[in-house]
């Protein structure tokens, strides 16, 4: 077997990632379904059948994880399926998740469960969703139920996926569903999500002392469009702070200092990470342009035209940003780091192999520099429902292509390459020469 010239450490976790609503299909009791009904997606697409994991296809895709030689998979469970009405637990849904987790373990794949990946039970909206402290209590009860139900099958837990993206999605396009389009609500939602994380951390450890618990934070490589323009530099600083710095500071010190709204201390947040998850996708260059962009506080995010970039609004493909953000994490936390998401929207697979090699090479360098990186979860195993972008052909992230009419999966060249990397235990010189 080919051996890596740029080897990753023994026991490194090689994985893929998905989330419940994006792959399961048929979930109509959550708030994203409701948002979909309002036509907030590309081509007004509804998630519909998605990848049909709920109705039975998860098991065949688990075989695909094994074919790729991955050793772990990050999935999420849907709160609305487990608790369809307040304080009513659905044992049939719990049994379905148990079947999926059991199949994963039988295939040699260690599951990571994300407890909150953007969706909420629709009934939570009536209780004020993530804008009220009562939701922290309700979330905690759901978390306890999840650990009691799945703790024998899973010991790796991610409490919350991307608090800031959740906040932004709702703010920019969700109109009124969870934040009412009020910028203060962005900060309020994140505040309660962080409190939810702290409670979940304590509850999981109470029920499962050996569990490894973390959170997935999205970090963009924010750069000023013109580094000599003072306004652009300031705009970049504001974005980095609002999008991730503010959360990381709270997780590290318990100090909550939002840009708008009440400051607070959340002492229970300190020391609630057994690992920290980084979701990294792109660079955005920030320009202060108040006349062009009144709706986003005068900020424009744009790719540099001479750099490879994704579809409009997606930003720039920029592997160095992975290192920049890892360094940021390292300055604040002394815990293992997992790359909980990294990937590229690209229906024709043209850029994905290069993306993979460039980012893994950057990761390899970071490990050489002593960064405690324990695993990498590629987003995503298969094409799936991409939130507001729905099934747009520009927003396909899978190592497997999915034909959503026939549900046929086809392994992409990037998938073959990922398998080769895992088999070799890292990158070979040939891979780097061919793709990087």
Interacting residue ranges for ligand FCB, rule: CB under 6 A: 19, 22, 161-162, 165, 218, 279, 341, 379, 386-387, 397
Q: Which is nearer to ligand FCB, 165 or 436 (CB)?
A: 165
Minimum distance from residue 50 beta carbon to ligand FCB (Å): 12
| Closest approach of ligand FCB to the CB of residue 342, in Å | 10
In our burial notation (b when 16+ CB lie closer than 10 A, e otherwise), range 43-80 reads: eebebebbbbbbeebbeebbebbbebebbbbbbbbbbb
Which of 104, 93, 85 has its CA nearest to residue 24?
93
Nearest to 88 by CA among 135, 142, 127, 156: 142
Which of 149/218 has CB closer to ligand FCB? Answer: 218
DSSP state letters, 8-41: PPTT-EEEEE--HHHHS----SBHHHHHHHTT-S
Q: Which is nearer to ligand FCB, 61 or 162 (CB)?
A: 162
DSSP 270-310: TT--SEEEEE---EEEEEE-TTT-GGGTTEEEE--TTS-B-
C-beta of 19 vs 36, nearer to ligand FCB: 19
Name the strand (E) or helix (H) holding 256.
Answer: strand 255-256
CB of 379 to ligand FCB, least distance (A): 5
- Identify which of residues 79 and 397 has a Cβ nearer to ligand FCB in the complex: 397
Q: CA dist 260 to 257, 283, 322, Å? A: 8, 25, 28
First to last CA, the chain: 22
Shortest separation between residue 404's beta carbon and ligand FCB, angstroms: 16
**C-beta of 123 vs 387, nearer to ligand FCB:** 387
Nearest approach, Cβ of 268 to ligand FCB (angstroms)?
25
CB of residue 395 to ligand FCB, shortest distance in Å: 8
């Amino acid at each position: 077997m080919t051996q890596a010239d740029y080897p990753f450490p023994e026991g490194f976790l090689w994985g893929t990632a998905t989330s419940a609503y994006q792959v399961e299909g048929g979930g109509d009791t959550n708030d994203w379904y409701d948002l979909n009904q309002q036509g907030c997606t590309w081509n007004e697409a509804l998630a519909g059948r998605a990848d049909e994991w709920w109705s039975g296809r998860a098991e065949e895709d688990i075989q695909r994880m094994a074919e790729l030689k991955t050793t772990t998979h990050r999935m999420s469970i849907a709160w609305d399926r487990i608790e369809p009405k307040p304080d009513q637990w659905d044992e049939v849904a719990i049994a379905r998740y148990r079947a999926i987790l059991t199949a994963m373990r039988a295939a040699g794949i260690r599951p990571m469960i994300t407890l909150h990946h953007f969706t909420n039970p629709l009934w939570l909206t009536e209780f004020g969703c993530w804008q009220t402290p009562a939701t922290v209590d309700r979330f905690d009860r759901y978390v306890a139920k999840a650990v009691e139900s799945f703790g024998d099958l899973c010991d790796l837990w991610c409490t919350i996926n991307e608090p800031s993206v959740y906040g932004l999605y709702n703010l920019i396009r969700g109109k009124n569903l969870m934040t009412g389009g009020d910028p203060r609500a962005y900060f309020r939602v994140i505040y309660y999500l962080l409190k939810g994380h702290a409670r979940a951390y304590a509850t999981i450890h109470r029920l499962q002392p050996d569990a490894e618990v973390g959170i997935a934070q999205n970090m963009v490589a924010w750069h000023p469009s013109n580094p000599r323009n003072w306004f652009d530099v300031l705009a970049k600083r504001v974005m980095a702070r609002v999008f991730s710095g503010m959360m990381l500071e709270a997780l590290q010190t318990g100090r909550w200092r939002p840009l708008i709204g009440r400051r607070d201390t959340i002492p229970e947040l300190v020391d609630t990470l057994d690992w920290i998850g980084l979701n990294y996708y792109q660079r955005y260059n920030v320009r202060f342009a108040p006349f062009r962009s009144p709706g986003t506080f005068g900020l424009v995010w744009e790719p540099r035209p001479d750099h490879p970039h994704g579809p409009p609004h997606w930003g720039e493909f920029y592997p160095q940003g992975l290192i920049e953000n890892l360094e940021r994490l390292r300055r604040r936390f002394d815990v293992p780091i997992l790359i909980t998401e990294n990937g590229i929207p690209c229906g024709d697979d043209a850029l994905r192999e290069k993306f993979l090699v460039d980012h893994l090479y950057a990761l390899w360098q970071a490990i050489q520099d002593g960064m405690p990186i324990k695993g990498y979860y590629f987003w995503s195993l298969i094409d799936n429902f991409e939130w507001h972008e729905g099934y747009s052909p520009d927003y396909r992230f899978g190592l497997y292509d999915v034909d959503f009419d026939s549900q046929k999966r086809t392994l992409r060249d990037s998938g073959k390459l990922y398998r080769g990397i895992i088999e070799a235990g890292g990158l070979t010189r040939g891979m780097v020469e061919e793709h990087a």
